[in-house]
Structure 1
Amino acid sequence: MKTNNILLLFLVVLISINYTLAVVVSQQGGNIPNGSASNNRNKKDLQSAANDLQYANIFKNGAGTIANEGTVRIDMQGTFSSGGQKWHNLQGQLNGVKGKSTIAHVQVAENAMTDNKAQQNALVTMVINAMMDSYTSGKTYSVLDNGARNGL
């Protein structure tokens, strides 16, 4: 009997973890707008800047730099609406370069916002990973709630 209870508890925990991880997703899109070539130093600096991202800054409404490390900064470019959703436009950009300076681009949907601290931490990690995937691929990444949280 105890084995059945432990198995049931394990199943409930697994479903809970799966639900939490399946809600917010990262999707690859088209080419980075105003994309720029970069080097290994830029990649290292982008990773350091991305690691400094904080949940509140990801959902900031005003434009401005939200992380900065060496040759790279991450700017919140502002928000835009698309498909009935409000998005926050984050761009990894080269410092001191005028014109095409974007080396990574992530847009984060407001439907991914949450009051749950663990989910906030998971979202920040997903945005960091999306930023680095964007750098590597040269593509824009979108981070959004896939509808499971709201039963959509």
Structure 2
Amino acid sequence: MNLKKIFFLLIVISLISITYGLSVEKEGDIPNRATNLSSRQKKDASEAIAQLEYSKIFYNSAGTIANHGSIRIDMQGIFTHFGTRYHNIQAQINGIKGSSTVAHVSVSEESMSTKTSEQKHVVRKVRNALLESLKSGKSYRVKGKA
């Protein structure tokens, strides 16, 4: 391979890593986690996660952003961690007080984008993180540039 091709490939690889610099990190146990989910609740959670839309992830006020059957997904609020603002997204069992959270992800505002392709990438990462959280019982963090 000649030097021009190698140089071109290095530039392409660099641009790809800059364009999609999102990372997903596993954190500790989900606070107030509901245990012993039924197969119906797991299916409802997966369906609610599939309904999640980009614009709703970054709402500025707390509230329900998706709902399916026995499960709702709430944007619980915004918090700051080491100078970066995060949106606290939780899937919860409807009608239960106390330990009702089945999946949890914090999404950094630095991952916000005006480009449709990047928004789709962010939604995929958030949905995947919520599904992993549902399976593992751990919280996840999505951060970095979209």
Instruction: State if a TM-score over 0.5 links the two structures.
Output: yes
Range into which the TM-score falls when normalised by the shorter chain: 0.7 to 0.9
- TM-superposed CA distance for 1:98, in Å, is 1.1
**Counterpart in 1 of 2:99?**
100
TM-score normalized with structure 1 length? 0.84
RMSD: 1.9
Map 1:1-152; keep pairs closer than 5 Å. 15-21=14-20, 23-37=21-35, 38-145=37-144, 149=145
What amino acid is aligned across from residue 117 of structure 1 in structure 2?
Answer: T
What amino acid is aligned across from residue 63 of structure 1 in structure 2?
Answer: A
How many matched pairs?
Answer: 143
% identical aligned pairs: 42
Q: Deviations over 1:32-64 (max 9, x none)?
A: 010011122111111111111111100111011
Structure 2: distance between partners of 1:82 and 1:92: 21
TM-score normalized with structure 2 length? 0.88
Structure 2: distance between partners of 1:90 and 1:20: 24
- TM-superposed CA distance for 1:17, in Å, is 3.7
Q: Deviations over 1:50-97 (max 9, x none)?
A: 111111100111011000000100001010111111110000000111
- SS in structure 2 of the partner of residue 74 of structure 1: strand
Structure 2: distance between partners of 1:117 and 1:16: 18
- TM-superposed CA distance for 1:115, in Å, is 1.3
Gaps of 5+ in 1: none
- TM-superposed CA distance for 1:11, in Å, is 6.7
